[in-house]
Structures are given as structure tokens and as C-alpha cells.
Structure 1
Amino acid sequence: MSFKGEQHPGVKTPTGDTDGFRLNHTMLRVKDPQAALSFYSRVFGMRVLRRLDFEEMQFSLYFLARLDDEDRVPEDTDERTVWTFSQRGLLELTHNWGTEDQTDFAYHDGNAEPQGFGHICFSVPNLDAAVAWFDANEVEFIKRPDQGKMKDVVFVKDVDGYWIEVIEAARMLGKGD
């Protein structure tokens, strides 16, 4: 790999001590796992790789990925657990038991004040087709591709109110400096 990354103030050259480090997953807390799993599997085509339950602490973790046909996921549970934690770009949905029964319960989405967490992002092969798919599945839009200053970028909400950016890589050409 010859690309060493863009250089900006604060960027340090990685040392060999970080060889093999990779971002495995991003975690979102969900109120109702059935609703969240339905959304991410139906709308984004994700599959649950592994569910881990922690009875003493009363929570469950669901690790999701958008798999390709050539992905070789182990059938054996222990092997699949190890495989899951060696992947890149997974989504972990964390469910604290009982929240689904609390009528007014909601997690902070990070975009309301005070702002913090912003969004996750999916790239799609065809943004127009994705927008039509979201419309057909009654997905709530925050921003459509023709709205706002940054065209060709979509933001939708999941069932817990988290923002999801959706982009088509080819349409990102020429964005920013």
C-alpha cells in the first residue's frame, strides 16, 4: 500500500504497534430489537451475524453486516463469534432489556441539542434507485438528494431516530476541496 493518508495538523505517522488494528463495529442502542432488526434487514439488506445475550446485565448485542454471496461465514457458533469480531464495518445494535415496553422511552439520536454523535453511512450503487426503495418502504427522510447545499447526499432515519447518510460513491466526485 503506497497511500499514506492525507496529512493535516495533528496527524501522526502510525507505528508498527498499531499493525493489524481495524475498526470492527459501530454500536447503536435500540429500544425494540424486533423493530430495529426488521428495519436494517428489510431496508438495508443486513443480516445478523451473531447475537450475544448477557443475562446478568440484562442486555443483548446484535452484530449485523451486509454480506456478499462470496462471504464465507462459519456455521459453527464459536467460529462465527471469532469471525464476527475480525470483520470490518459491522453495525452492533444493543438492546437493554425492557426498553421496548416503556411507552415514552427514546435514546438521544445525537443530532438534537446537545449535539454529539452524528450518523452512520451506507454507500449504494445507485442513489436514485435507493431513494425509490426508501419511498416504497416508507422510510423517513431528513434530506433528499436535491435538497440543501450538498446535493446527491441523502439522510434518512431508522426506527430509533438515528440518522443514516446514504451516498453513491461516483456522485461524491468533486465534493469538498
Structure 2
Amino acid sequence: MAAFTETLPGVAAEAPAQTRGFRLNHSMLRVKDPAVSLDFYTRVFGMRVLRKLDFPEMKFSLYFLARLEGDEAVPQDAGERLVWTFSQQGILELTHNWGTEDQPEFRYHDGNAQPQGFGHICFAVPDLAAAIRWLDDNQVPYVKRPEQGKMKDIAFVKDPDGYWIEILQPELVADLGR
């Protein structure tokens, strides 16, 4: 199958040969309290922690999470598992700077307040209605429910640090932006 891209101003006609094998591995979010965030992402979104790395000299920890299917084989050896983790796509890295969990007023900028920057991460789900019921059952706060606003069939919820998470069912958004 030939590589495809929409033709738009600024888009290179071809991917440079030197980029062959490059893949987007992970996106990072800073979290105030890892126990709260790990509970949210593992319980509500079914993600698994692939690897935790501690850096005592710099006072931070990294948690690499992914949404795995039951039959995926993850290496047991810590080094092999880290290499495997950095070879995947769709990894979420949670970074915890030690001590933030003990600061009641501490908050990270979610990227959606002014000045805007980072916007959201997204989970594609097989059944939007079932996912919404699950999110409701778990009292996840909404920014936008699927029936609200001009973009129907897309929801936005917030994680414990206020980061936005888009929820969509791919088949329901085929006409988006047309």
C-alpha cells in the first residue's frame, strides 16, 4: 500500500527516506499524584503500566502505560520490556515530579485554558454509547457530552489533573469536517 497524505500547503511531497522507521511512540503528561492518575487510567481506561522508572537524583518518576489486548506478549525482563515499550505506538507517559501530591494548591496547566497550547489525548472506542455509560458509572467529569455542541458523537472528559480526553467511535465520525 502506498503512503498517503492529504495535499496541503506545507506538506512535504514525500517522507524523507532518512525518516523510514520513525514512529510516534508516546506522549507525556505531568501528573500531580501518581496513585490518583494510575487508578484513573488503569481502572477507567483499562491501561496497563508497562514500566516505571525512578530518577531519585532529579526527584521524578516516569510511568509508561498502554492499552493492551489480552494476547499481547510483554517481555518480563525489565530491560527487554523497556526496549519493547519504546518500540510501541500509542504509549502514554505520566511524569510525576516528587512532592507535588503534597501541595494542595498545586495544579498543572491543562493546555486548554489561556494561553492555549496542548489540547487533548484521544481514545477510540468500539461502542460510544457503552463507553459513555461506563464513564458515567465512574463519575468521570465531562467537558462535552456526545450530544452537545456542533460536533456530535464526540465526547471530551477530564482526567484527575484536568487534561482533556476525547472519546470517539471511528464509524460515527466518517463525515466529520465535510
Indicate whether the TM-score tops 0.5.
yes
Aligned counterpart, 2:2: 2
2:122 aligned counterpart, secondary structure = strand
Structure 1 pair 33/156, CA: closer, same or farther in 2 (3 Å)? Answer: same
Distance 1:16 1:56 in 2: 39
Aligned partners of 1:7 and 1:33: how far apart in 2? 42
Q: What secondary structure does 1:104 align onto?
A: coil
Whole-angstrom distance in 1 between the partners of 2:4 and 2:148: 35
Q: What amino acid is aligned across from residue 163 of structure 1 in structure 2?
A: W
Does 2:84 align with 1:74?
A: no
Q: What is the CA distance between 1:2 and its match in structure 2?
A: 1.5
Deviation at 1:69, TM superposition (A): 1.6
State the distance in 2 between where 1:61 and 1:46 align. Answer: 15
1:15-164 aligned at under 5 Å gives the runs: 15-164=16-165
Note the C-alpha offset of 1:27.
0.2
Q: TM-score normalised to the size of structure 1? A: 0.98
CA RMSD of aligned residues (A): 0.7
Q: Distance in 1 between matches of 2:152 and 2:30?
A: 30
Structure 1 segments (4+ residues) deviating >6 Å: none
Unaligned runs of 5+ in 2: none
Displacement after TM superposition at 1:6 (Å):
1.1
Superposition deviation, residue 173 in structure 1: 1.1
Instruction: Determine the structure 1 residue equivalent to 2:167.
Output: 166
1:91 CA displacement: 0.2
Report the residue type matching 1:5 in the other structure: T
Could you tell me how far apart the structure 1 residues matched to 2:72 and 2:52 are? 19
User: Percent identity, aligned pairs only?
Assistant: 64
Per-residue deviation, 1:3? 3.6
In the TM superposition, what is the alpha-carbon distance from 1:4 to its structure 2 partner? 2.1
Shift of 1:31: 0.1
